[in-house]
Amino acid sequence: MNGDLQLNADGSLRHLLTLDGLPARILTQILDTAESFISVAQREVKKVPLLRGKAIFNLFFEPSTRTRTTFEIAAKRLSADVVNLNIASSAQSKGETLLDTVANLSAMQADMFVVRHAASGAPHLIARHVAPHIHVVNAGDGRCAHPTQGLLDMFTIRQHKGSFHNLRVAVVGDLLHSRVARSQIHALTTLGCPEVRVVAPRTLLPRDVDSLGVHVHYRMETGIKDCDVVIMLRLQNERMQGALLPSPQEYFKYWGLTPDKLRLARPDVIVMHPGPMNRGVEIDSGVADGVHSVILNQVTYGIAVRMAVMSLLAGN
Amino acid sequence: MHLPQPGELTATLAEAIRPALTPDCALVGIHTGGVWVMDALAEVLGVDSPRGVLDISFYRDDFSRIGLHPQVKPSRIPFDVEGRKILLVDDVLYTGRTVRAAMNLLFDYGRPAAIRLAVLVDRGGRELPICPDFMGLRLDLGPDRHISLQRDEAGVLSFLVREKV
């Protein structure tokens, strides 16, 4: 994916499409700005007047509850006007029709599009065709990227661990179908995390895994050993085709994160999950609701991170 | 141009404030210079008032022209603003736009009983109907000049006056 599309000539962020190729300075600026928005959420009035008069369109061609809701709350807390469009995905709603939709919404004086689409590259396509003043945020495209999820994961790690420089981080589970994992790995590497591991059965690893600059583990027990952060991925049943796995029960036995397995990690390990969770498949309830879990914090941080992204984009 | 040291001005400002400073009053400094002045004032006055810090980046009126400030810091108000008397502190008062933004920000924490404004230097050039209740120095500085407060590693404050670029 072309990363240059998302930067202005002066190096500032114009669109947020992928974390791939984004310099550390921009990642850090987003995380720093998000920290200020955390304090806004603790006030009597949780809004700031920054994006007054701006119109933000949430274009969701694929269903999503958490991501769409947190984008909506974030935009509202910035005082923007938000319009939610849930457009059911179909084979025809690509190419010209997608651009026609965008052209029509642009004619309604849109200032920003937040795009979720089942087809990889759809937000890039829109970004290439919008007027210069319009910003595009990728809210998840196909198997490609989910940059705000990656950013909120980085924010969560920074809030709980302080910095990235001495951390051992494991990303566990269905990497093959995950757009989140790619965004996470890019961001972790850029922010200076010295050891990123991916832990998965061979059938759920992408073919190009060696090019990601990570340590590959095929066993849970070695994969999460001594880790500071364990990021669980959702087993994406709806994206599975063919016999990649025996059964969810079998998967849980070998790859589910249980309190017993978690004891192999560091005593102060944090456990993350982008949601929605499959309890009893990739994660045991004892871990999901346990003391090491920061899964609900991630949701809260997600609002602040999305506020930071939208306010930085709108100001550039 | 000869300028008094910020330390002397802080002492002058503190004496002006002292009679008005009641025990229920909270101090709020505007990031960054205003926070330094607030801390210096609290030390000279020997008061234990609650202190808060405001970063007005999300409330600036020039966001649509220049975007978000590159280094936003979290605001921190560790007391209830509702019904509270507040002494708002900044280093230099110029157009009044920063103070306008700071007051809007404060009101999003609650409805204060009163806000008074204390500044180390009032350099004139107001663009909004705002005037300080307490000041260390009144200075006529042309629009081509820039004045800011600096703090060295030892915590000593000094003024920097330069031509505007």
Mean pLDDT of chain B: 94
* Domain annotation for chain B: domains and CATH numbers: 6-163 (3.40.50.2020)
Which pLDDT value is given to residue A2? 46
Which ipTM value was assigned to this complex? 0.86
Does A154 lie in the same domain as A115?
no
Q: What is residue B49's predicted lDDT score, i.e. its pLDDT?
A: 95
Q: Which single residue is written with the structure tokens 């300080």?
A: B132
Q: Out of B59, B67, B104, whose CB is closest to A315?
A: B67
One domain, residues A76 and A92:
yes
Whole-number mean pLDDT of chain A? 91
Per-residue pLDDT tens over the stretch A267-282: 999 999 998 999 999 9
Do residues A152 and A292 both lie within one domain?
yes
Smallest CA–CA distance, residue B79 to chain A, in Å, is: 11
**Domain identity same for A51 and A13:** yes
Tell me the C-alpha distance between A262 and B80, whole Å. Answer: 42
Write out chain B residues lying below 8 Å of A47, CB-based.
Answer: 108
Looking at the partner chain, which of A38, A43, A316 has a beta carbon nearest the beta carbon of B108?
A43
Count of CB atoms situated within 10 Å of the CB of B35? 24
Q: Tell me if A271 sits within 8 A of A294, measured CB to CB.
A: yes
Q: Using 50, 70 and 90 to split pLDDT, how confident is the model at A1?
A: very low
Q: Does one domain contain both A100 and A170? A: no
- Tell me whether residues B108 and A36 touch, CB distance under 8 A: no
- Length in residues, chain B: 165
Our CA-based measurement puts residue A21 at a distance from the nearest CA of chain B, in whole angstroms, of 20
What's the rounded Cα separation, in Å, for the pair B61 and B56?
Answer: 10
Q: Which of B55, B82, B109 sits opposite A36 (nearest CB)?
A: B55
Distance from CA of B30 to the nearest CA of A (A): 15
Q: What is the pLDDT of residues A221-237, one digit of tens each?
A: 999 999 999 999 998 77
Look up the CATH number of the domain holding residue A130. 3.40.50.1370
The pLDDT > 70 percentage for chain B reads: 99
Q: Measure CB to CB from residue B75 to each of A39, A45, A47 and give the nearest one.
A: A39
CA distance linking residue A55 with residue A39, whole number of Å: 24
Specify the pLDDT at position A93.
54
Give the pLDDT confidence score for residue A238 in this predicted structure.
65
25-64 of B, contacting A, C-beta below 8 A: 55, 57-59, 63-64
Instruction: Identify the closest residue of chain B to A47 by CA–CA distance.
Output: B108
The three-class DSSP label of residue B51 is strand
pLDDT of A140 > 80? The answer is yes
Q: Is there a single domain that holds both residue A114 and residue A100?
A: yes
Q: From edge to edge, which strands make up the β-sheet containing A229-232?
A: A215-217, A195-199, A168-172, A229-232, A270-272
Chain A residues within an 8 Å CB radius of B65 = none
Chain B partners within 8 Å of A39 (Cβ) = 74-76
Q: Are residues A182 and A287 in the same domain?
A: yes
Q: What average pLDDT does range A44-70 have in this prediction?
A: 93
Hey, are the CB atoms on A44 and B108 less than 8 Å from each other? Answer: yes
The predicted pLDDT at position A88 comes to 66
pLDDT band of A241, cuts 50, 70, 90: low
Which residue in B60, B72, B100, B105 has the most chain A C-beta atoms within 10 A of its own C-beta, making it the best mutation to test that interface? B72
Average pLDDT of span A11-33: 94
CB nearest B58 (choices: A12, A38, A50): A50
Residue B27: pLDDT over 50: yes
pLDDT band per the 50, 70, 90 thresholds, residue A314:
very high
For residue A91, give Cα distances in angstroms to A95, A97, A208, A250, B109. 10, 11, 27, 34, 49
Q: Report the SS3 class of residue A105.
A: helix
Judged by a CB distance cut-off of 8 A, whether residue B76 touches chain A is yes
**CA angle, residues A264, A268, A271, in degrees to nearest 5:** 75
- Alpha helices in chain A, H assignment, sequence order: 24-40, 66-77, 96-106, 122-129, 147-161, 179-190, 220-223, 248-255, 259-262, 285-288, 295-315
**C-beta atoms of A36 and B110 within 8 A:** no
Contacts of B64 in chain A (CB under 8 A): 315
A98 token code pair? 């997608």
From chain B, the residues in CB contact with A35 under 8 A are: 74
Which residue segment(s) compose the domain that A89 sits in? 4-145+299-315
Q: Is the pLDDT of residue A186 over 60?
A: yes
Contact residues for B19 (Cβ-Cβ < 8 A; gap 6+):
none
pLDDT tens readout for residues B121-158: 999 999 999 999 999 999 999 899 999 999 999 989 99
Chain A contacts of B80, Cβ < 8 Å? none
Distance from CA of A299 to the nearest CA of B (A): 20
Residue pair A276/A296 in contact (Cβ under 8 Å)? The answer is no
A111 neighbors A97 (Cβ within 8 angstroms)? no
pLDDT given at position A3: 46
Distance, CA of A19 to CA of A199 (rounded, Å) = 21
Task: Please tell me the number of Cα atoms within 13 Å of B139 on its side-chain side.
Answer: 26
Instruction: State the residue for tokens 């998967």.
Output: A251
Residues A218, A228, single domain; the answer is yes
Is the pLDDT score of A94 beyond 70?
no
Query: Do residues A274 and A182 share a domain?
Result: yes
Higher per-residue pLDDT: A71 or B164: A71
β-partners of residue A145 are A141
Torsions phi, psi for A90 (to 5 deg): -145, 160
Instruction: Give the count of domains, chain A.
Output: 2
Cis bond leading into B32, ω under 30°? yes
Q: Which residue of B has its CA nearest to A26?
A: B70
DSSP state of A121: T
- Residues A152 and A288 placed together within one structural domain of the fold: yes
Q: Domain check: are A310 and A214 in the same one?
A: no
Residues A100 and A236 in one domain: no
Chain A: residues touching B (Cβ < 8 Å): 12, 29, 32-33, 35-36, 38-40, 43-45, 47-50, 311-312, 314-316
Q: Any idea what the Cα angle at residue B92 is, between residues B87 and B97, rounded to 5°?
A: 80
Cβ neighbours of A32 in B, within 8 Å? 71-72
